[in-house]
Amino acid sequence: MKHPIRRVLAAALTVAAMAGGTAFAKSWNLSAEQPDSNYHTKNIRLFAEDVQKATGNGLEFKIQSNGILLKRPEVKRGVQQGIVPIADVLMAAMANDDPIFEIDNIPFLAPSFDASERLWKLARPLIAERLDKQGLVLVYGTPWPPQGIYTKKPVQSLDDFKGAKLRAVNVAVARMATLMGAVPATVQVAEVPQAFSTNVIDMMMTSSATGVDTSAWDYTRFYYDVQASLPYSITIANKRALDGLTPEQRKAVMDAGARAETRGWAMAREQNASFVKVLSDKGIQVEQTPPRLAEQMKSIAQTMAEEWGKKADPQALEAVSYTHLRAHET
């Protein structure tokens, strides 16, 4: 088996050549977070096919799925440093760099696809601007289905979360877990089943899609459809690498990205109900949020919104305010 460090170094040499504008730009390594079965990865493969076709095979992608090349915490820096020229990542993984990157994780701000898409359209230019200042290009962004809670035992209120180990996929979920009385734990997607079986975690907050990807019915019994948020995954490219392509190739990448964004939103909408049905058909008890827990989580959401507002800039606050108002018009 090829050593991971050697694999990453090989990818880095590839990007270094690309940044110099040599013929190397014809082949890019693409780090994909999710397994091949996930719709995000399927969308990435369609994006890659679009680019390859538009460039007459002048630019192709070698897609490494399931976080093989880079783990989530490494993705942004890995693309910045040219370890890989392009990758997709859960946007909130970059929340420590700028509050704009966790705008999608303010609980219950945009809990539906319509509200989430309004928020994305408002925040997208701000996100692209912040990435550009860090040597990155926003190629496209797509949503996850609404976030729910998976548990081994039934829950009714926050009392049932006290001391429980809850998988937190980002800083915002970790903060929510803490406010709920749980202990946040970081576990990569591929390690979730083992983490449950070894009691590293007792619960997780994630989407129906992740539950299906990881066969959640093997290690949990309940799924509470709390619809806390719809996180975004973004595909980002190294700016120098992109500039090293021909103008036609750059246009092909960005045009394919625009199509992937539209397609990804449609895929998420279409597949959400089917994911929940799979969970139910496989034996997981799908429940709505218990009334007492729902009221308690509203209070937590208010606390997190206030905390985010204190560190966000005026432009981000304006996007949130508009989305919040529109979400409550219907």
Inform me whether the pLDDT recorded for 22 exceeds 70.
no
Contact 139, 253 (CB under 8 A): yes
Residues 19-41: b if buried by 16+ CB within 10 A, e if exposed: beeeebbeebbbbbbbeeebbbb
Measure the CA–CA gap between 55 and 49, rounded to whole angstroms: 10
Work out the mean pLDDT of the chain and round it to a whole number: 90
Predicted local distance difference test score (pLDDT) of residue 13: 46
Q: What is the pLDDT of residues 77-102, one digit of tens each?
A: 999 999 999 999 999 999 999 999 99
Contact 44, 63 (CB under 8 A): yes
- Please give the model's pTM, rounded to 2 decimal places: 0.85
Q: Is 299 exposed, middle or buried, given 0-12, 13-18 or 19+ CB atoms closer than 10 A?
A: exposed
Predicted local distance difference test score (pLDDT) of residue 188: 87
DSSP structural state of residue 33: S
- Domains of the chain and any CATH numbers: 4-143+231-276 (3.40.190.170), 147-229+281-327 (3.40.190.170)
Sheet containing 285-287: give its strands across.
183-185, 165-167, 203-207, 147-151, 222-224, 285-287
Q: What is the pLDDT of residues 218-256, one digit of tens each?
A: 999 999 999 999 999 999 999 999 999 999 999 999 999
